[in-house]
Structure 1
Amino acid sequence: MSEEVGTLYVVGIGPGLPHAMTQEAKDVIRTADCVIASNLYQEFLRKDGTIPPESETESTDEDAVLATRPDGTEQEVVRSSMGRQIELAREAFERVRDGEDVAHVSGGDPNVYGKSDLVFTMAEEDGATDIPIEIVPGVTAALGGAANLGAPLSNDFCTISLSDKWRGWDEIEEKLRAAAISGFVVVLYNCWRDYERAIEVLREERADHVPVGIFNDAGRADAGRNLEDETHTITTLGEAADHDEKVGGMGTSILVGNHETKVWRNDDREYLVTPRGGRDVDDF
């Protein structure tokens, strides 16, 4: 093992497009010795040279390439995919022990259904207490989607994943009901799983006229992977389940307003706004 260890960075790149990454995320990825990222995120990161162009690479194996930066230095780029996350975490630990800085790329924010918990879980499993770990935040879908919709998260809100891979529907339903009763604006992730069922639970505790925003690939513009690239639709809770054509998979999230959320219109378009509550203009 090298006398000087590197650092394992878990880097949130937001929607993935270069303009939407933080400067810290760009700097960490650009200077890392090794970048672990899916093919899709590699494509995004090459758009502005955050990682070297594909034409300047040499394959080291089927899942990794050695890329040459404009200044002549080299960076290894490793393909991440589902089913390889344990293997990739262990590979990252070994690289860090050998003195490399490793950027493990996560879409959105690593702490919002991203990769940060996996890294810490694997470090505990393997007793890898010698590995420095740093989390670099990114823009999660709830924030990107809210920006497209206007100001729907200006008061208290929560996110709830509809994925039942690690928890049963009973637990998901309990969270949905508690959030609805408590008055939170709710952002649903993983909406390809039982989103109609989730909407029905929320309807039991919240009025049908409450505004809802359905958004796809927030922040990806014409580089979206679902439906017709980046889209957003404003509807109501009573009609949200009637928009199957707008729910396109992993890139879809649904924002359910509360009793204060309203549709606001100007000469440009419609927005969703949730006031912070109890304030008027003179309070600012």
Structure 2
Amino acid sequence: MSGHGTLYVVGIGPGLPEHMTQRAREVITDADCVIASNLYQAFLREDGTLPPEGEAGPEDPEIVRSSMGKQIELTREAFERVREGEEVAHVSGGDPNVYGKSDLVFTMADADDATDIPIEIVPGVTAALGGAAMMGAPLSNDFCTISLSDKWRGWDEIEEKLRAAAVADFVVVLYNCWRNYERAIEVLREERADDVPVGIFNDAGRGDAGRNVEGETYTLTTLGDAAAHEESVGGMGTSILVGTHETETWRNDHKTHLVTPRGGRDVDDF
């Protein structure tokens, strides 16, 4: 509507400058208000996307701290700011559509009858893509992501999805691995061989700046041994990639990679 701003839900990927799209940076820089957690604020200040703390000028965006317990209130505040003509950037790690903030914004807009609010989603690099790139080419064939969080969905539903993905021979990337990851591994083992490769990765794309005290790391193991690597599961920044019977480890002179070939092709097929 005339006089309204826009509510941007902005994915900043892992958060570090080299992994953020130019579009995300422009939206945040040009916004009147940026809603972001302390961690994401720190990332955005690292390359000057946001000014150093305490040094904001009159042309810089107003910063509103986001937290898990204030999402409803902050979204309503964002609606009101947009109605007053402000451009609002609501920051989400990774991609807003992959267990991020985009569904909350649309759900709230529906619940509050906020059909007058222009909403734009700015995509970012999700953990599955960042972790896969760190390890090599494990997502070159069909894959899916499954969240292990049972906050809104019961374990029976999660188990059904795990089993279906395993039977369908998807490469599976598990999110929210601080919950139920050992149970998830056991379900996948029932449908998939113990020797398929697994990658456990933390803070992909964040270098030493992530939540994990050791920074960006990954561990290559097998499905049969994955549950024994408790020390590699660092919390919210951890995801686990479970390969298929085609996924293999490949070594060059520098490191070991994970590769899932697309349908068994060889060089002559390209």
Q: 1:237 aligns with which of 205, 223, 236?
A: 223
Provide the rounded CA distance (Å) in 1 between the counterparts of 2:264 and 2:248. Answer: 15
Q: 2:205 aligns with which of 200, 205, 219?
A: 219
Q: Deviations over 1:42-80 (max 9, x none)?
A: 010001110111131xxxxxxxxxx31xxx513210000
Q: Deviations over 1:141-188 (max 9, x none)?
A: 000000011000000000000000000000000000000000000000
Q: 2:268 aligns to what?
A: 282
Which AA in structure 1 matches 2:176? N
Segment drifting more, 38-47 vs 272-281: 272-281
Q: 1:158 aligns with which of 131, 144, 154?
A: 144
Provide the rounded CA distance (Å) in 2 between the counterparts of 1:36 and 1:261. Answer: 40
Q: 1:60 aligns to what?
A: none
Q: 1:41 aligns to what?
A: 40
2:156 is the alignment partner of 1:170: yes
What SS class does the counterpart of residue 276 from structure 1 fall into? coil
Cα contact 2:200–2:220 (8 A) shared by 1 = yes
Stretches of 4+ aligned residues off by more than 6 angstroms: none
2:99 is the alignment partner of 1:113: yes
2:13 is the alignment partner of 1:14: yes
Deviation for aligned residue 1:139? 0.3
Q: 1:62 aligns to what?
A: none
2:71 is the alignment partner of 1:85: yes
Q: Percent identity?
A: 81
Which AA in structure 2 matches 1:19? E
Provide the rounded CA distance (Å) in 2 between the counterparts of 1:5 and 1:86. Answer: 20
Provide the rounded CA distance (Å) in 1 between the counterparts of 2:29 and 2:118. Answer: 19
Segments of structure 2 that go 5 or more residues without pairing to the other structure are none
Q: 2:185 aligns with which of 199, 215, 218?
A: 199
Segments of structure 1 that go 5 or more residues without pairing to the other structure are 57-66
Q: TM-score, normalised by structure 2?
A: 0.98
Cα contact 2:209–2:215 (8 A) shared by 1 = yes
Which AA in structure 1 matches 2:125? V
Q: Deviations over 1:253-279 (max 9, x none)?
A: 000000100000011110000000142
Provide the rounded CA distance (Å) in 2 between the counterparts of 1:105 and 1:149. Answer: 27
Q: 1:268 aligns with which of 215, 231, 254?
A: 254
Q: Deviations over 1:202-253 (max 9, x none)?
A: 0000000000000000000011211411000100000000000000100000
Q: How many residues align?
A: 270
Q: 1:59 aligns to what?
A: none
Q: 1:28 aligns to what?
A: 27
Which AA in structure 2 matches 1:261? T
Instruction: Give the superposed CA RMSD.
Output: 1.0
Provide the rounded CA distance (Å) in 1 between the counterparts of 2:157 and 2:13. Answer: 28
Q: 1:63 aligns to what?
A: none
Q: 2:135 aligns with which of 129, 140, 149?
A: 149
What SS class does the counterpart of residue 84 from structure 1 fall into? helix
